[in-house]
Chain A
Amino acid sequence: MEPNWNRLDEHVKFYLPVVVAVALVSILITGLITAPVRRVKGYSPVQPVSFSHQLHAGQMRIDCRHCHLGVEVSRHATVPTTAICMNCHKAAATDKPGVIRLREAAARGETLLWKRVHKLPDFVYFAHLVHVQAGIRCDNCHGDVRRMDVMTQVSTLSMGACLGCHRQAHERVPGSQANLTGPENCSACHR
Chain B
Amino acid sequence: MIDKFYSSLQAAVADIKDGSSILISGFGEAGSPVELIHALIDQGARDLTIVNNNAGNGRVGLAALIAAGRVRKIICSYPRSSGSTVFQELFRAGKIELELVPQGTLAERIRAGGAGIPAFYTPTGAGTPLAEGKEVRSFAGREYLLEYGITTDFALVKAQKADRFGNLTYNKVARNFGPIMCMAAKTTIVQVRRLMPAGSLDAEAVVTPGIFVDRLVEIPDPVVESALISQGASYP
A is bound by B = no
